[in-house]
Amino acid sequence: MKTISSVVEQYIRKKPFLQSALAQGIINLTSLSRIVKPEIEGELGKDIRNGAIVMALKRLSDDLEFRATHKIIKVLKNIGEITVRSSLTDYTFLASDTILPQQARLLEEVNYNQDVFYTSSRGVNEINIVISNSMDGVVERLFQHEKYTQKAENLSSITVKLPAENVSVPGIYYFIFQRLAWEGIVLYEVISTTNEFTILVDDQQVDVAFKTIKDLKTL
């Protein structure tokens, strides 16, 4: 049997931004109840008082605040080193039978230039390369016969070292990326390993992105 509380919770869970804002207590519950009232009534098939919806939202917000943020904030307070690199270029190539040997040759070139930033990831159909723009000429020479779908310039990377327990707490990346989205940060790439991740952003947004991530340690 459907209840007001279960229908309200189902409604909120379909809207991640609303769920997070509710957990942080930054939404006027009375105003929100008026907005969601028609949909809740439609789901239950009867008229519902605003007060009943407000009470359901209050119980849900108290529960969400503990469950959704307590463990996450504990992990984020222990964020480690944050490293910023600028003057990067992001290449995306279509996967092919010939591209891996070219990547091997590029790695040889990178080994001769220890100050060069380089990272690569492979999907099912694409291969991505992020590299210092001083190596653009080398990349374009080695991959001249490959098909690329994107080349983005004037980018910066932010690499964040996470505590080991990040792999056992759900919602870490969502929590971080949500705040970046709130600040209007456009993520060109997200590259991760077990205990660190790197985001690629426009040079003009790197200061705001860095501050947003750094401020997570003070939540």
Tell me, what's the pLDDT at 9?
83
Residue 5 pLDDT grade (very low, low, confident, very high; cuts 50, 70, 90): confident
Residue 27 token pair: 């939404």
Q: Is the pLDDT of residue 16 over 70?
A: no
Query: Rounded to two decimals, what is the model's pTM?
Result: 0.71
Tell me, what's the pLDDT at 168?
84
Q: For helices 4-13 and 29-44, what crossing angle results, to 10°?
A: 110
- Number of CB atoms found within 10 A of residue 190's CB: 12
Give the CA angle between residues 126, 127, 133 to the nearest 5°. Answer: 135
